[in-house]
Structure 1
Amino acid sequence: MSKLLKFALGVDRISEQFGHLAAFGVLAAAVISAGNAFIRYGFDISSNGWLEIQWYLFAATVMLGAPLVLKLNEHVRVDLFYGKLKHNAPVYVDLFGLVVFLLPVMGMLAWLSFPLFLKMLVTNEMSSNAGGLIRWPAMLLLPLGFAWMFLQGLSEIIKRVAYLQGKFEMDTHYEKPVQ
């Protein structure tokens, strides 16, 4: 289990780095949006490229930030019953959801989105809007984000199994190995 925990914690560290990129993406999108509005309304100049880069940054925010949200256990869940569960029951519910729902869906979405990314990369597909951007960088975020979410799901499974074995301490916001 030690090597698996090291793998899980490595995935966690990379998810944290992706989370920093996602946070930068939010800031950059806000600055670009404000600057674009100022230039459009102040000087009557507009560019589809600036609008599209905002969409790309939003995609980066979602696709790169979602694994960190899962790691931090801040993802959306129906808490009607979950919050009332005692002892290890929430861990078992998490394991069920991760194994039965998250991993299969993220694996399938990564698998299905990769050929679309490759097609856009090979053909160098451009936006149909005047002044639009190439599309493959935004499309790369799909297989990358889904695959990383899959890996973060594996990390969460490993940590929860280790927790059940008494080899890992878990808290809803902070996780660390047992010393």
Structure 2
Amino acid sequence: MRAFIQTIDLVNRLLGRAVSWCLIAMMLAQMGVVISRHVFGYGTVALQEAVVFGHALVFLLASAWVLQRDEHVRVDILYDRAAPGVRRIIDLAALVLFVLPVAGVIAWYGWDYAAHSFANLEGSRQPGGLGGVFLLKGAIVVFAVSVGLQGLSQTLKIIPGLPPARPAEAP
């Protein structure tokens, strides 16, 4: 069981780190958009879409890593004041009642959505836009699976009697 948890954690950590480099590409693309528009008076749809796609990829593909590192958004009104045992119960309830079911629903509906897009090799609807919209829609399925598996990993770490998994490494 520990090897299973560590494998999920490793894959999501590597995916999160890899996609974090997308932020640099997004910054450079956004600089290109601003410079081309304001200096040269020329706008480019493909470069603007690259920024939007990059932003979507960062959110989709780094979400499991964020969950693993416990950096996700949470309402801290009660959680911060709670004892460690109560925190474990809150975490377990959130994972079992929200994270795992929502990841499952997104994977279920996202599969057909992405498959249809892949079958048509969907591209941008804008003239001069990017052609890989189907890849972005495929990332929805990767998001759901990676978050679902990370949710399972986090759940297994919380269950009493299991040895604690190695903590996530700092970036």
Using structure 2 for the length normalisation, give the TM-score: 0.92
Q: How does 1:55-94 map to 2 (within 5 A)?
A: 55-94=52-91
Q: Give the partner amino acid of 2:164.
A: F
CA distance in 1, matches of 2:118, 2:31: 30
- 1:166 CA displacement: 5.8
CA distance in 1, matches of 2:44, 2:126: 10
- The answer for the alignment partner of 1:6 in structure 2 is 3
Which consecutive aligned stretches of 4+ in structure 1 deviate over 2 angstroms post-superposition?
none
- The answer for the alignment partner of 1:165 in structure 2 is 161
CA distance in 2, matches of 1:166, 1:146: 25
CA distance in 2, matches of 1:12, 1:54: 28
CA distance in 2, matches of 1:122, 1:169: 40
What are the Cα deviations for residues 95-123 of structure 1, in whole angstroms up to 9, with x where unaligned?
11101111001110111011111111111
Instruction: Please give the root-mean-square deviation of Cα atoms over the aligned residues, in Å.
Output: 1.6
The number of residues matched between the two structures is: 168
Using structure 1 for the length normalisation, give the TM-score: 0.88
Q: 1:166 to 1:123 in 2, by over 3 A?
A: closer
CA distance in 2, matches of 1:37, 1:26: 16
- The answer for the alignment partner of 1:143 in structure 2 is 141
CA distance in 2, matches of 1:140, 1:87: 38
- 1:35 CA displacement: 1.5
Q: 1:147 to 1:169 in 2, by over 3 A?
A: closer
- 1:175 CA displacement: 4.9
- The answer for the alignment partner of 1:42 in structure 2 is 39
Task: Report the identity percentage.
Answer: 24
What are the Cα deviations for residues 70-116 of structure 1, in whole angstroms up to 9, with x where unaligned?
00111111111111111322111111110111100111011101111
Give structure 1 stretches of 5+ with no counterpart: none
Q: Give the partner amino acid of 2:12.
A: S
